[in-house]
Structure 1
Amino acid sequence: MKKFNVAVVGATGMVGNKIMEVLEERNFPIDQFYPMASANSAGKKVHFMGKEYTVEELNEHSFDKDIDIALFSAGGSTSKKYAPIAAKNGVIAIDNSSTWRMDENVPLIVPEVNPEDLKWHKNIIANPNCSTIQAMVPLKVLHETYKIKRVVYSTYQAVSGSGVNGYKDLEEGSKGEPNKFYPYPIAFNILPHIDVFEENGYTKEEMKMINETRKILHDDSIRITATTVRVPVFYSHSESINLEFEKDFDLDELITLLEKTPGIVVKNDIKNLQYPTPLDVAGKNEVYVGRIRRDESIDSGVNLWVVADNIRKGAATNAVQIAETLIQNNLI
């Protein structure tokens, strides 16, 4: 098997560390490996695939060397500056920030959902928002089969989605320490506020879910609303998703359809209290779906409870899967 030269930009961060872990778990075909980060982290040591590497400082010349794929997890400003430099040097940049997601020239990819969009990449590929990724895996197959008219998202998102600072606020807050990152305590509390508020009253996170869903499903006609909430959970985002279809459906057939969909684990046995929870799903790469039931307030609607590890499927695993899909389809 051909091997590839791979860089991880932001290698010392939470997602960067997880990307390296996932690359190793999935035995990604790597020849040369280049961990990169800001000047503050340059010189640190990281362990990867049985070897120790020194983290390089990211700069304008980092991609002069022979690199095939760069997995970016270093924030929007870094990606905005350096992803085009990488792309110009023939490197495929797979970016975890929001910088390129709504750029019409950049594909926004969930490999189980829209791998065909990789064919038109111009060396920059966007990883969707974590909360969007996990929703897309079940929604794609349901949209193809029943035609989604309307989506109502209500999310319950883990603090790791805010990075190390959010994690620390919960960890220290549970010990009685004051909040330093969130505007209010997150320990023993929930905050209906993720990212900044926009003029329409929605948060930026909510608008990400709305806009990214339409782009990934290639359908601007879907009516979508969202409320995103930060909850005192370390890992795994949970989502209550209410769907209204154009076509009627048989509930058992819908459940079977989800069970057969790659990347989904259905856990839906209410008689035995079996449904996905964040603790169950943390550390897993799949999207878990449960509490599947008709919405009896409308003619053709269904409710889903969708849970996924936001650092894995919501970030690192999805990015690595994009790279794997490029290789499988001879697009690199």
Structure 2
Amino acid sequence: MKKYNVAVVGATGMVGQKMLEVLEELKFPVENLYPMASARSAGKKITFAGKEYEVEELTPEAFDKDIDVALFSAGGGTSEKFAPEAAKRGVIVIDNSSAWRMDPEVPLVVPEVNPEDLKWHKNIIANPNCSTIQAMVPLKPLNEKYGIARIVYSTYQAVSGAGVKGYKDLENGIQGAEPQKFPHPIAFNCLPHIDDFLPNGYTKEEMKMVNETHKILHDDSIAITATTVRVPVYNSHSESINCELRKPFEVEDIQKMWEETPGCIVQDNPAENIYPMAVTATGTNEVYVGRIRRDFSIENGLNFWCVADNIRKGAAANAVQIAFALIDQGLI
């Protein structure tokens, strides 16, 4: 198998480290690895596949090397500045920030859902928001078979989604320390506030779910609303998803459809207390669905519970899966 030269930008951060772990775990065919980070982290050592590497400073000139693909997880400002520098040098950028997601020239991809969008990339590909990614895996086949008229998202998002500082706020908050990242204590508390508030009363996170769902599913006709909540869980996001479908359905048929959906695992046996949970999703790359049941309050209404590891499937693993999809389609 051909091997590829891979850069990981933000290699010392939470998601960057996980990208390196997933590249190794999934045996991505790496020829040469180039870990990059800010000047502050340059010079640090990382280990990949049993070999030690020194992190180099992220500069435009760092991409003058022969690099096939660069996985970016260094924040929106960094991506806006450096992704075009890499792209114009012929590097395919897979970016985990929000910087490029809604750019009409940039594909927004979940490999199990819309891999065909990779064909029109112009050397920058966007990784969707973590909470959006996991919802897309079960919603895509649902929309294809039954049509979705409306979605109500209610999310319960782990502190790791806010980075190391968010993680520390929970860890230290349990001991009584004041929060440093969040506006209020997250320990023993829930915050209906992820990212900034917008003039329409929604948060940026909530509007990301609305806008990204439309773009990924190529269907602006779906009415969507969202409430996103930070909860005192270290890792893995949970979501209650309510859908109004356009066609009648049987719950058993939907369950069977999801059992056959790549990347989707059904855990739904209430009699045995089996349903998706954050503690069991953590450390895996799949999306888990359960509590699948009819919503009796509306015609063709469906409720289900959806859980995934936000640092893996919601970020690092999805990015690496995009890189594999590029290989599969002969685009790299």
The TM-score with structure 2 as length reference comes to 1.00
In structure 2, how many angstroms separate the alpha carbons of the residues matched to 1:306 and 1:254? Answer: 14
CA-to-aligned-CA distance 1:93-145 (integer Å, 9 cap, x gap): 00000000000000000000000000000000000000000000000000000
Which residue does 1:132 correspond to in 2?
132
**Letter aligned with residue 192 of structure 1:** P
Which residue does 1:305 correspond to in 2?
305
Which residue does 1:15 correspond to in 2?
15
Which residue does 1:37 correspond to in 2?
37
Which residue does 1:319 correspond to in 2?
319
Matched, 1:109 2:109: yes
**Letter aligned with residue 326 of structure 2:** L
Alignment of 1:1-332 (within 5 A): 1-332=1-332
In structure 1, how many angstroms separate the alpha carbons of the residues matched to 2:24 and 2:306? Answer: 27
CA apart distance, 1:180: 1.2
**Letter aligned with residue 293 of structure 2:** R
Q: SS of 1:19's equivalent?
A: helix
CA-to-aligned-CA distance 1:298-325 (integer Å, 9 cap, x gap): 1101001000000000000000000000
Q: SS of 2:307's equivalent?
A: strand
CA-to-aligned-CA distance 1:132-188 (integer Å, 9 cap, x gap): 000000000000000000000000000000000000000000111111110000000
Q: SS of 1:199's equivalent?
A: coil
Q: SS of 1:156's equivalent?
A: strand
In structure 2, how many angstroms separate the alpha carbons of the residues matched to 1:75 and 1:62? Answer: 18
In structure 2, how many angstroms separate the alpha carbons of the residues matched to 1:104 and 1:128? Answer: 14
In structure 2, how many angstroms separate the alpha carbons of the residues matched to 1:85 and 1:127? Answer: 18
CA apart distance, 1:39: 0.3
In structure 1, how many angstroms separate the alpha carbons of the residues matched to 2:23 and 2:180? Answer: 33
**Letter aligned with residue 157 of structure 2:** Q
Segments of structure 1 that go 5 or more residues without pairing to the other structure are none
In structure 2, how many angstroms separate the alpha carbons of the residues matched to 1:4 and 1:163? Answer: 29
Structure 1 consecutive aligned stretches of length 4 or more whose deviation exceeds 6 Å: none
In structure 1, how many angstroms separate the alpha carbons of the residues matched to 2:288 and 2:326? Answer: 25
Identical pairs, percent? 70
The TM-score with structure 1 as length reference comes to 1.00
Q: SS of 1:125's equivalent?
A: strand
In structure 1, how many angstroms separate the alpha carbons of the residues matched to 2:55 and 2:157? Answer: 31
In structure 1, how many angstroms separate the alpha carbons of the residues matched to 2:181 and 2:127? Answer: 25
In structure 2, how many angstroms separate the alpha carbons of the residues matched to 1:161 and 1:219? Answer: 27
Q: SS of 2:172's equivalent?
A: helix
In structure 2, how many angstroms separate the alpha carbons of the residues matched to 1:160 and 1:41? Answer: 20
Report the more deviating stretch, 271-280 or 124-133.
271-280
CA apart distance, 1:251: 1.0
Segments of structure 2 that go 5 or more residues without pairing to the other structure are none
In structure 1, how many angstroms separate the alpha carbons of the residues matched to 2:10 and 2:226? Answer: 30
In structure 1, how many angstroms separate the alpha carbons of the residues matched to 2:206 and 2:97? Answer: 16
**Letter aligned with residue 311 of structure 1:** I
